[in-house]
Structure 1
Amino acid sequence: MHRLELDGITKQYPAVRANDGVSLRVKPGEIHAVLGENGAGKSTLMKVIYGAVQPDAGTIRWNGSPVTVRSPAEARALGISMVYQHFSLFDTLTAAENVWLGLDKAMKLPEVTRRITEVAHTYGLDVDPQRPVHTLSVGERQRVEIVRALLTDPQLLILDEPTSVLTPQAVDKLFVTLRQLAERGTSILYISHKLDEIRSLCHHCTVLRGGKVTGEVDPTQESNASLSRLMIGAEPPQLQHGTRPAGDVVLAVKGLSLAREDQFGVDLKDIGFDVRAGEIVGVAGVSGNGQQELMAALSGEDTRSPAGSIRLFGRDIAHHGARKRRHEGLHFVPEERLGRGAVPTLSLAQNTLLTRTEAVSRAGWIPSGRVTALADTIIRRFNVKAGGPGAAAKSLSGGNLQKFIVGREIDADPKLLVVSQPTWGVDVGAAALIRGELLKLRDAGCALLVVSEELDELFEISDRLIVIAQGRVSPSIPVAEATIEKIGEWMSGLWAPRETA
């Protein structure tokens, strides 16, 4: 008997049929991958299973019996838990209070807090139950979601991109745990764009394209190339990352110490590094180790940096705001797409104006035709799947919105691009496109600082690497001399001063 059976699931939205007659079967104890490019219908299908979206047609059977899942609460009562890619947490509540909301109210908050600490320790997930969610980075919020799902002891656990915030060592530990859960009979639906993960972890794989099932395979018998072909109809383009001499120093950070603005933040401690024209410097690290604070200081959101600690082409910009830094050639892509990178309810055309003010006339008029044309250029150049420049940002899938936001800043022809999590939640084809554009920008002489928790990504595109841990940065190391093991150790703060390139 199957744990979960979907037959003919169909969901129509005004502009797109997200699911078109999808059938899926998951056995007890099976780790089942759902693979598909951005906009293929994966998230909609998971929301149908979890009761957050009601299908227009089709049936769901749970442990052999037909069910109608009307809400996430009903899904949890059945034994289904889900970790969303876009999180469902209340910013003003603590991590423990958010977890408590999704549990049986017979359990008191102190007991929930204790359980969170136990589960977080068991699974290698660093979660502080007392921290308000609004003080957490995207990666830390994802950990709260994972712990909340695990606390329910589910029969079916749905995981959407669960490893993007973990060190390689922590990923290995999580995989051991997931395999233990499966051996005890827990079924796992696993969504990931990391093909190596799917091949090493999952027992079965269902592939979606354009809302339809296009294949079912044993991932252990497939290669990355064959899975890519099933998912996007082609292999992703090979990146051309030739070596070239770096130019003059564009960004120089020296003696940057900055006290955190809230009690749950991270103090920056004597940060020092530089980025040269025509090179990509990658910043590795586990989420919550000072990335947010460093990005705020570099982007101009936080202007408290000591005088002279941040220089652009030799000019002190430590106290310059974000707008002035953009005028000086520094563009920035934040890690949080909705709410920081884009206003959800505004159109893509209107969202271009957040950072592309050159489209505005000297008199302050906003010529709608020019703004629309600019947005359309970005949509076409970066292959953004959207209903045109007038589409609301919130109507796009996470990966397509990411392509638009990254594209908006690349298209500005920056002298220095600081980008955080450039391919978060993006499929292999779109990730290759974004990484390729970053390399083209580098080859055109731009200096790039790329913060990412995807070590494979950093090794693929970076010329040098630094690691941030507990508010400090490591010495830089050429990628050619770095190893996954060494960077994994450095992510725990274990580097020696002499380990410099």
Structure 2
Amino acid sequence: MTELLRISHLTKAYPGVVANDDVSFTINQGEVHAFLGENGAGKSTLVKIIYGLVKPDSGTMNLHGKPFAPSEPRAARASGVAMVFQHFSLFEALNVAENIALGMEHPPKMHALAQRIRQMSENYGLPLDPYRTVGDLSAGERQRVEIIRCLLQNPKLLIMDEPTSVLTPQEVQILFQTLEKLKKEGTSILYISHKLEEIRRLCDTATILRLGKKVTTCNPRKETTRALAEMMVGGTLHIPERTPHAATEVVLGVQSLNLRSVSAFGTALKDISFKVHAGEILGIGGVAGNGQDELTAALSGELKTTAEMVQFKGKSIGHLGPPARRDLGVLAAPEERLGHAAAPDMSLTENAMLTGARRKGLVQKGFLDWPKSRNFAEAVISRFDVRTPGPDNAARALSGGNLQKFVIGREVLQDPDVLVVNQPTWGVDASAAADIRQALLDLAANGAAVIVISQDLDELMEISDTFAALNEGRLTKPVPAQGLTVDQIGLMMGGAHDMEIAHV
């Protein structure tokens, strides 16, 4: 195969950490090349170097056999490198064509651009209406906007960061067909994902990083999922174990919950009803933007409802705010880690105190008990293997995956009666994801009612006792998770609210 990109001895260090340590590998033309590694392994830094967002301390890159050192993303794009980020950069109030025009150096007239968008999207099986407002699009459709924006640049290397995290199973199949077509046309794809089965199915080569260093390059199709995960972590991968338990009393009940979204482009909740028992994990699936954030807020108390719509052990709590619900034992961890679940510029000790002050007794006679708060933060760091210099480190200094471990651990260690978690393992590596799932299973085994809202269907099927799907603010009737097929789940996520689930 013809070599497209050669990375030679790249090193990038930050204060206290070497993000990339003498990394070398190659990407060939028409190859789907995976980056694998734990959170903090150096994947993001390496991609940012390739895309011109970060300058390496040493080492070289060659593209098409010529020196390649983009000073900014614009220079990378001009050289044929495009990137679809995990978090979309779209303006919701603008239409598709207007968003795409903003990313072009010299956009054509809007009518001509709309024609190009239609043609490109149809050619690659990603149909888009260029005049639709982005705020009205599903998460999968928004991703199409990002992909088409890249393809209009005619890239030679397309970088994709966690591209299937917001997609239904059917949308994943469509995306893979698109990537296979690009591959046949000679486009190289650098694919970053924590979903190892996807890597084994789609990718020709995988470069594995650990603690900033390249561990190996392999053919992922010749390795098992477990073998890939253990290469990443450098040891034996823990597989979550479920402890048999019987669901008993109803701990949380939701009855005819209706709630308008506070966002102009949010999703209103419509007549949602369900019950969660002590010791039960209810998994709620759905494509992003179908009411997940609104449901989390309604259950946590950030958005108040009529009192009777939410009940805790038979007591109406819909009118109560988050502090009062926390006092009762109803805790939550929202999806957005930085800025919502954690204050970016506060230390981990301060962030531990923000939600744990009352349940962990971190306030004495009106004064904060800093030694006790620090001990609580250290307990979370130790129990959930949060990679950080210490509890005095600011939340924004942590990698996304390590901050996620801290946020989930902070709530779990407060021994809730009800825990609502939204996207508990988003962007978290295989080992950390296994630890978080085990913590949720252990919490349920000890009698807590757990609600897991996630776009990772494998995760939901692994830990859930019952499953329901959100679609346009409506929730399907919860059904036993065991025996559900991918097709059945896809139908539920697509809005089949009244379907009868025939288990196999």
- Considering the TM-score relative to the shorter chain, is it more than 0.5? yes
Shift of 1:365: 2.0
SS in structure 2 opposite 1:468? strand
Mapped contact 1:232–1:429 kept (Cα < 8 A): yes
In structure 2, the CA distance between the partners of 1:157 and 1:500, relative to structure 1 (3 Å rule), is same
Q: Which residue of 2 is the match for residue 440 of structure 1? A: 442
In structure 2, the CA distance between the partners of 1:392 and 1:107, relative to structure 1 (3 Å rule), is farther
In structure 2, the CA distance between the partners of 1:119 and 1:464, relative to structure 1 (3 Å rule), is farther
Mapped contact 2:140–2:171 kept (Cα < 8 A): no
SS in structure 1 opposite 2:367? coil
In structure 2, the CA distance between the partners of 1:285 and 1:65, relative to structure 1 (3 Å rule), is same
Q: Which residue of 2 is the match for residue 167 of structure 1? A: 168
The match for 2:467 among 446, 465, 473 is 465
Shift of 1:229: 2.0
How do residues 183-332 of structure 1 correspond to structure 2 at under 5 angstroms? 183-303=184-304, 305-332=305-332
Mapped contact 2:114–2:130 kept (Cα < 8 A): no
Pick which of 285-294 and 99-108 moved more.
Answer: 99-108
Cα distance between partner residues in 1 of 2:383 and 2:73: 38
SS in structure 1 opposite 2:173? helix
Mapped contact 2:107–2:113 kept (Cα < 8 A): no
Cα distance between partner residues in 1 of 2:353 and 2:98: 37
In structure 2, the CA distance between the partners of 1:262 and 1:403, relative to structure 1 (3 Å rule), is closer
Cα distance between partner residues in 1 of 2:449 and 2:364: 29
Pick which of 223-232 and 173-182 moved more.
Answer: 223-232
Mapped contact 2:335–2:422 kept (Cα < 8 A): yes
SS in structure 2 opposite 1:353? helix
Q: Which residue of 1 is the match for residue 393 of structure 2? A: 391
Cα distance between partner residues in 2 of 1:12 and 1:91: 36
Shift of 1:256: 0.9
Shift of 1:287: 1.1
CA deviations 1:178-212 (Å, max 9, x no partner) are 01001101110001111111111001111111111
Mapped contact 2:285–2:460 kept (Cα < 8 A): yes
Cα distance between partner residues in 1 of 2:142 and 2:349: 30
Pick which of 408-417 and 224-233 moved more.
Answer: 224-233
Shift of 1:361: 2.1
Cα distance between partner residues in 2 of 1:176 and 1:58: 35
Shift of 1:466: 0.7
Cα distance between partner residues in 1 of 2:306 and 2:492: 26
Shift of 1:77: 1.0
Q: Which residue of 2 is the match for residue 25 of structure 1? A: 26
SS in structure 2 opposite 1:480? coil
Mapped contact 2:117–2:128 kept (Cα < 8 A): no
Shift of 1:106: 2.6
Pick which of 363-372 and 407-416 moved more.
Answer: 363-372
Q: Which residue of 1 is the match for residue 5 of structure 2? A: 4
Q: Which residue of 1 is the match for residue 342 of structure 2? A: 342
Mapped contact 1:281–1:462 kept (Cα < 8 A): yes
Mapped contact 1:140–1:288 kept (Cα < 8 A): no
Cα distance between partner residues in 1 of 2:140 and 2:332: 19
Mapped contact 1:120–1:127 kept (Cα < 8 A): no
CA deviations 1:322-349 (Å, max 9, x no partner) are 1211111111111111111112222111
Does residue 479 of structure 1 match 2:481? yes
In structure 2, the CA distance between the partners of 1:374 and 1:118, relative to structure 1 (3 Å rule), is farther
Q: Which residue of 2 is the match for residue 65 of structure 1? A: 66
Mapped contact 2:293–2:334 kept (Cα < 8 A): no
Cα distance between partner residues in 1 of 2:368 and 2:76: 47
Cα distance between partner residues in 1 of 2:450 and 2:464: 9
Shift of 1:232: 0.8
Cα distance between partner residues in 2 of 1:500 and 1:277: 26
Cα distance between partner residues in 1 of 2:24 and 2:424: 33
RMSD of aligned C-alpha atoms? 2.5
Mapped contact 1:281–1:464 kept (Cα < 8 A): yes
In structure 2, the CA distance between the partners of 1:75 and 1:118, relative to structure 1 (3 Å rule), is same
Cα distance between partner residues in 2 of 1:427 and 1:193: 6
Mapped contact 1:138–1:335 kept (Cα < 8 A): no
CA deviations 1:119-174 (Å, max 9, x no partner) are 667555889976577x9998886665445434433211111111011111111111
Does residue 14 of structure 1 match 2:7? no
Q: Which residue of 2 is the match for residue 428 of structure 1? A: 430
Shift of 1:252: 0.5
Specify the code of the residue in structure 2 equivalent to 1:344: P
Mapped contact 1:477–1:500 kept (Cα < 8 A): no
How do residues 88-99 of structure 1 correspond to structure 2 at under 5 angstroms? 88=89, 97-99=98-100
Cα distance between partner residues in 2 of 1:129 and 1:23: 44
Cα distance between partner residues in 2 of 1:137 and 1:375: 37
Cα distance between partner residues in 2 of 1:129 and 1:339: 32
How do residues 382-421 of structure 1 correspond to structure 2 at under 5 angstroms? 382-421=384-423
How do residues 145-164 of structure 1 correspond to structure 2 at under 5 angstroms? 145-164=146-165
**TM score, norm. by length of structure 1:** 0.93
Cα distance between partner residues in 1 of 2:96 and 2:341: 24
**TM score, norm. by length of structure 2:** 0.92
SS in structure 2 opposite 1:40? coil
In structure 2, the CA distance between the partners of 1:321 and 1:475, relative to structure 1 (3 Å rule), is same
CA deviations 1:279-308 (Å, max 9, x no partner) are 1000011111121221121111111x2331
Could you tell me which runs of 5 or more consecutive residues in structure 1 were left unpaired when the two chains were aligned: none
Cα distance between partner residues in 2 of 1:291 and 1:461: 19
SS in structure 2 opposite 1:481? coil
Specify the code of the residue in structure 2 equivalent to 1:61: N
Cα distance between partner residues in 1 of 2:96 and 2:417: 39
Percent identical: 47
Specify the code of the residue in structure 1 equivalent to 2:173: D
Q: Which residue of 2 is the match for residue 39 of structure 1? A: 40
Specify the code of the residue in structure 1 equivalent to 2:346: L
SS in structure 2 opposite 1:75? helix
Cα distance between partner residues in 2 of 1:175 and 1:329: 43
Cα distance between partner residues in 2 of 1:111 and 1:363: 68
Does residue 493 of structure 1 match 2:460? no
SS in structure 2 opposite 1:394? helix
Shift of 1:234: 2.2
